[in-house]
Amino acid sequence: MISNDFAQTKNFVREPCDRRIDLWHSSLEVVEWRSLLVLLSNEERYRADKFAHERDTRRFVASHALLRLLLSQLIAIPASQLRLSVERDSKPALLEELRQPIHFSLARSEERVLIGFASRPLGVDIESFASSVDVEDFATVALADEEREALKAINPVDRHEAVLRCWTQKEAYLKAIGVGLSISPKTIEVSFAPGAPPGLKKASGSSNSASNWFVDVVVPDPGYIGAVAAHGVGWRVEMTRFARSFCRLS
């Protein structure tokens, strides 16, 4: 049985509905993380064993266990029995037969995880402000021509945050369409200047395609920045912090 802390949150895990995106975020600083291994699939445990550092194994196990715990509340199937697709380079999905689809996305950075649920395809990303970024290299590799010009116009002291705002939005969108970095992030243009509303400006060079997507920036925890992308418009985002003690099993 899971801890009382988790049981108290189950009433807040709601079935996805049109126009609402549910975001959950949590710390990954879990002391008894090994107790969560029983919730994972054999494939997930195999992947966890491949990390060279225990820190990275812990973060992987805790984040995937949380995803399974949340999904189990949504569809009333024990977390350890959930069947998830695991094909390489494909977007994770539930293999259970559901009366309505549940789309989800997971991202982690340092000691935080961000998980999103929606009734339509979505993607999330999160980055730590402590992340080291070479702004010039980033501009060369990831920015379209107009974005590079926009970055030059930003005060140098604000460029690090601007780059993270830019990257999280692009990554969230690429995850939402299920391609990851198999296509160049230069083909995606977003709004990232300080004070400007975030959003997708062009997708594969088309502003019409971009208009069919919702992209927003979120702040899940101090020192972190995140983004969410979902197909369609008019979405509202509701964010919930998961108890740090979610992983205690009893």
| 128 and 220 share one domain | yes
- Would you tell me the crossing angle of helices 54-75 and 42-49 to the nearest 10 degrees? 160
Contact between 37 and 45 under an 8 Å Cβ cutoff? The reply is yes
Give pLDDT, residue 248.
Answer: 45
Residue 131 placed within a domain: yes
Give pLDDT, residue 30.
Answer: 92
pTM (2 decimals)?
A: 0.90
Q: Which domain holds residue 187?
A: 121-231
Whether the pLDDT of residue 144 is over 70: the answer is yes
Q: Which residues, 6+ apart, have CB-to-CB distance to 227 below 8 Å?
A: 124, 125, 165, 168, 169, 171, 172, 198, 215, 216, 217, 218
Give pLDDT, residue 88.
Answer: 57
Residue 142 placed within a domain: yes
Whether the pLDDT of residue 43 is over 90: the answer is yes
CATH number at residue 34: 3.90.470.20
| 172 and 89 share one domain | no
| 127 and 164 share one domain | yes
Share of the chain above pLDDT 90, in %: 74
Residue 81 placed within a domain: yes
| 212 and 185 share one domain | yes
More confident position, 34 or 13: 34
The total domain count for the chain is 2
| 136 and 152 share one domain | yes
Give the separation between CA 23 and CA 105, rounded to whole angstroms: 9
Contact between 70 and 243 under an 8 Å Cβ cutoff? The reply is no
Residue 6 placed within a domain: yes
| 92 and 176 share one domain | no
Residue 200 placed within a domain: yes
| 64 and 126 share one domain | no
Residue 24 placed within a domain: no
Average confidence score pLDDT of the chain? 88
Residue 23 placed within a domain: no
DSSP H helical segments within 92-144, as ranges? 135-142
Give pLDDT, residue 9.
Answer: 46
Whether the pLDDT of residue 245 is over 70: the answer is no
